[in-house]
Amino acid sequence: MVNAVGPGSSVGSLHEPSVCQTKQSLVYDLQEPFRWIADVAVMETFESGVLDLPDFYFTGDDYRYRFEIEAKRRFLDLLRARFNTGANCRNRVLKWDSIIEQKATELGKCVTGKIRSVDFLDPSPELTRTDNRELRAKVLPMKQSEAWRLGIGKSTLHYLRSNARRDSSFRASRKVIARLQ
C-alpha cells in the first residue's frame, strides 16, 4: 500500500533499513501511530479468554513461544474485528484500515511536497472501559430491589454481578452505567 501512494517504502525516518530487516523502513514508521490497535487486541484476547496459556508452546530451538493454528485463527478474528471498528474522521465514520490507508496517502503527499503536514492524532483512539472499580463496588453488594428502582433488570444485574466477580474485563451499556451513577 505504501508504494502505491507515492513515496518509496525505504524512505523511513524512524526506522533505518538494516541487513536483518527488510528495507521497508517507511512501512515500519507508518505502523507506529496505529500500533495501539494490535496492543488493545492482544489485551482483549487474554482478558476475554479467547487465548490462554495452553494455546502456546515453546519450541526450544529458537527461544520463541508459538501458538496453535486454531488459536491464531481466534486471535486474527479479534484483530480483524478491532481494525473494522469505526472511528470519527473528518465528520465521517471510517474503519481503522481505511483511516490507515488515508494516512498513508497523506504521508505520500507530504513526502512528495504536495501537502505540508500529516495529522496522525486525528482520529484519536477511544479506549474507555466500562468495568472500573467503582462499577464493581456498586454492583457486587446491590440488592435486586435497589436495581429494580434504578431500572436495571434481574438478568442484567446477574450478568453484571457474575462478571464483576472475575478479574477479566466486561462490558456494560451506557444506559446501565448512567443508571448506576
Structure confidence by residue, pLDDT tens digits, 26-53: 777 788 889 999 998 888 888 777 888 8
State how far the Cα of 108 lies from the Cα of 2, in Å rounded to an integer: 8
Instruction: Tell me: pLDDT of 14 over 70.
Output: no
Q: What percent of the chain has pLDDT over 70?
A: 86
Over range 79-88, report the average pLDDT.
88
Q: Is 114 exposed, middle or buried (0-12, 13-18, 19+ CB in 10 A)?
A: exposed
Give the pLDDT of residue 6: 54
Domains in the chain, CATH or no CATH each:
3-111 (1.20.120.920), 133-180 (no CATH)
Q: What percent of the chain has pLDDT over 90?
A: 19
Q: Is 127 exposed, middle or buried (0-12, 13-18, 19+ CB in 10 A)?
A: exposed
Give the pLDDT of residue 165: 86
Grid cell of 38 as nine digits: 494490535
State how far the Cα of 77 lies from the Cα of 133, in Å rounded to an integer: 29
Q: What is the pTM of this model?
A: 0.64
Instruction: Tell me: pLDDT of 22 over 90.
Output: no
Give the pLDDT of residue 56: 87
pLDDT tens digits along 111-163: 788 999 988 888 887 776 667 788 888 899 999 999 999 999 999 999 899 88
Q: What is the mean pLDDT of the chain?
A: 82
Over range 164-171, report the average pLDDT.
78
